[in-house]
Amino acid sequence: MHPSRCPPPDAATDLLQLPNVGPSAAADLRLLGLSHPADLRGRDPHQLYLQLCDATGARHDPCVLDVLMSVCHYMDTGEARAWPSFTAERKRKWTV
């Protein structure tokens, strides 16, 4: 979903209501055992990315980590941002 159309985090009841989450990202989150937006509160996006790579047996594109950063940030702060705005931060923090 485009960040400007997201409900407040406390009102989000479906993963598809999260910023930058479409069917594929929602399926990835469900694979990790995250079925509700609130499940993302306090989670480490890098750990989620590594768990996703392990669960699928494949290295995912780094933009997947950007999306995970965006949804964790949204649920923790209420600020909905487009996933590319997390790319520079990801590059500073992690090598994937």
Q: Give me the residue label for tokens 């965006």.
A: 70
The number of folded domains in the chain is 1
Q: What residues make up the domain containing 65?
A: 3-93
Q: Residue 3 above 80 pLDDT?
A: no
Please tell me what DSSP assigns to residue 96.
-
Q: Residue 1 above 90 pLDDT?
A: no
End-to-end Cα, the chain, rounded Å: 25
pLDDT average, residue stretch 45-54: 98
Predicted TM-score (pTM) of the model is 0.94
Q: Could you give the CA distance from residue 21 to residue 17 in angstroms, rounded to a whole number?
A: 7
pLDDT average, residue stretch 59-85: 97
